[in-house]
Amino acid sequence: MKITFLGTGTSQGVPVIGCECDVCQSLDFRNKRLRTSVHIEVNKKSFVIDTGPDFRQQMLREKIKRLDAVIFTHEHKDHTAGMDDVRSYNFLQNKEMPIYAHERVLDQLKMEFSYVFNHKAYPGVPQIGTNEISKDQPFLIEGIKFIPIEVMHYKLPVLGFRVNDFTYITDANYISEEEKKKIKGSKIVVINALQKKKHISHFNLEEAIEMADELGANTTYFTHISHKLGLHGDIEKELPENVIIAHDGLTINL
């Protein structure tokens, strides 16, 4: 399995428009963060979790020429806004793109991308096949098993996913004991670490480190990072040995 971090930034990305902080002005490529998304390649199948506003740029950068499905964690724009660009894969592969999401998320996508789901669709719009998922039912895509994990993003339920020994969670500040059981035993876990200061809907750095220790993966990677966390090079010195700050373009082989 090959995992590629397409983006590791929060909803505004890094740098933030108009910001002159040290992180936003940094020349270190690791401090340049597009909106959060991940690509998973397993058994020669290609999947993306979330299509944020930077989806096109990310797929071009990583030269991903095939995509078998898109899985959505939740309906916020920084995770869905790039869905229109799956049409490039429609043209390349000559078939519709399967998307997998909770019913609530599908309803939101159908509203925001109404032209895609219109019965009299305009020529050239994305061809989408919808698949409803829930936290209680694992599902298969192209023979690959995905286990949904429900986490809370303040009061909004968000789905993370486990594929084999890899678990990916973003936009969370609470995971129930029942859902943690689905994660335990993962060799690699990805969780969000927004900033140092406590936040209403995301783990901060301290909470993310505590959660990494509790979940007990061999290695934990932090994503969905804002400019308020600090410089990549400084923060990585503060982390336990088995905890790593992800950066855009980082690849992991599992």
As a whole number of angstroms, the distance between CA 244 and CA 25 comes to 22
Mean pLDDT, range 109-119, rounded to an integer:
93
Provide the b/e sequence for 104-120 (b: ≥16 CB within 10 Å): ebbebbeeebeebeeee
Token digits of residue 38: 């991940």
Q: Which pLDDT does position 215 carry in this prediction? A: 98
- Residue 120: the pLDDT is 77
> What letter does residue 225 receive in the DSSP assignment?
B
> What does pLDDT average to over the chain?
97
Average pLDDT score over residue span 113-133:
91
Q: How many domains in the chain?
A: 1
* Average of per-residue pLDDT across 24-48: 98
pLDDT in tens, 126-173: 999 999 999 999 999 999 999 999 999 999 999 999 999 999 999 999
CATH number of the domain to which 30 belongs: 3.60.15.10
Is a pLDDT exceeding 80 seen at residue 119? Answer: no
pLDDT for position 122: 81
pLDDT for 121 equals 72
* Domain boundaries, position 156: 2-253
Give pLDDT, residue 123: 85
Distance, CA of 185 to CA of 216 (rounded, Å): 8
pLDDT value at 219 more than 80: yes
Q: Is residue 24 over pLDDT 90? A: yes
